[in-house]
Amino acid sequence: MECALGVATHFPSCSKPQIINSPHARFLTLKCHSISLSDNSSTGLAERPWKVADARLVLEDGSIWRAKSFGASGTQVGEVVFNTSLTGYQEILTDPSYAGQFVLMTNPHIGNTGVNFDDEESRQCFLAGLVIRSLSISTSNWRCTQTLGDYLAERNIMGIYDVDTRAITRRLRQDGSLIGVLSTDVSKTDEELINASRTWDIVGVDLISGVSCKAPYEWTDKTNSEWDFNFNGRNEETFRVVAYDFGIKQNILRRLASYGCKIKVVPSTWPASETLKMKPDGVLFSNGPGDPSAVPYAVETVKEIIGKVPVFGICMGHQLLGQALGGKTFKMKFGHHGGNHPVRNLRNGSVEISAQNHNYAVDPESLPEGAEVTHVNLNDGSCAGLAFSQLKLMSLQYHPEASPGPHDSDPVFGEFMQLMKREKQNV
């Protein structure tokens, strides 16, 4: 029997069994011959009745992982990271902070709830590709409008499944994030793909400019009443907030609006002088992809704004604030990606289960006097939050809006409201 990639290409075809009776024995005689699945003329079979491995994930360490493709076809390079969230794959797909990355889901079963428009976090998918263990063969959810495979294909995003995601995750934890190449192109050799993975780098690349909006716009949508969950600390007062879009998630804007903010979203390159002319009550520096050291223009913008109005930084915004204060950032071994990261609030001793997505962190030892570390990641002790009372500054390394993830950190939006309220009273 001939095999290719461990899959049989010839199978026995048997004639009707002949029963032979004798006084001493009773047995069956079967006459069989081999059928080749490639012999279309004789069998009428156009192709195998199941999907076979037709894609490769090649990592820069030389390992080659064969898998089955879904979504788009082609060849794509990116940094491979793993995400430990149990739910919310559509929010992850549309999180701009994943630009330039292949997201490997550690939860094995993906696609069972399909996709729907309401769960999107941005205008498109910015990630390089999706890597999963098992692709659901059916969808079952009352909000579903499309299958995951069709959704990715329409957006030209590659995906692979039937690959050992546990083994790849262990490799990433041991060796750190790796550059990889996804390909369905049979004309490319393994050596060519390995070489492509070793000649591309994500460090020092400005990924923010590719995900930011191109012109300012107003945001008014609040969290839908069906999904709203925290009415404590809401303000009847309205605050005017300018939100810098470094790759902002829509649920950050919805939470701000729900807490009483009138929001103007501006591009990543928007001049600080124009922001200050708007006389906002506060400024938000949003999440975003990549290396904060690759966007010195954003650091300069932050420098010009801090101390003049209350500011709140989230994720990339937190890192930019750290650099603007004179601190340093560094690339983590494999980053934090998932909806189950424990964080301790050093001010009150409480522990939050948080949603995180970042590969860089602020070095707290490099921060100037007056800067306070307010939150610490309990998995590795890294800096997860900052404050500088004299400069009316606060920030978190993680996502208080979650989406997906737990809502433990949502009250921090109320803290930002109080920071703006105190500043208004002091004017």
220: phi > 0 → left, psi -120 to 50 → alpha, else beta; which? Answer: alpha
DSSP reduced 3-state for 252:
helix
**Residues shown for the chain:** 427
- Burial class, 249, CB count within 10 angstroms (exposed 0-12 / middle 13-18 / buried 19+): buried
- Burial class, 134, CB count within 10 angstroms (exposed 0-12 / middle 13-18 / buried 19+): middle
Instruction: Give the Å distances, CA to CA, from 222 to 30, 138, 225.
Output: 71, 32, 8
Instruction: Give the start-end residues of each E strand in 95-204.
Output: 101-105, 109-110, 129-131, 134-135, 158-161, 178-183
How is residue 307 annotated by DSSP?
T
Catalytically active residues, by annotation = 315, 399, 401
Q: Of 357, 353, 324, give the one whose Cα is nearest residue 252.
A: 357
Q: Within 10 Å of residue 273's Cβ, how many Cβ atoms?
A: 10
Cβ atoms of residues 371 and 325 within 8 Å: yes
The DSSP H or E segment spanning 4 is strand 3-4
Cβ atoms of residues 269 and 247 within 8 Å: no
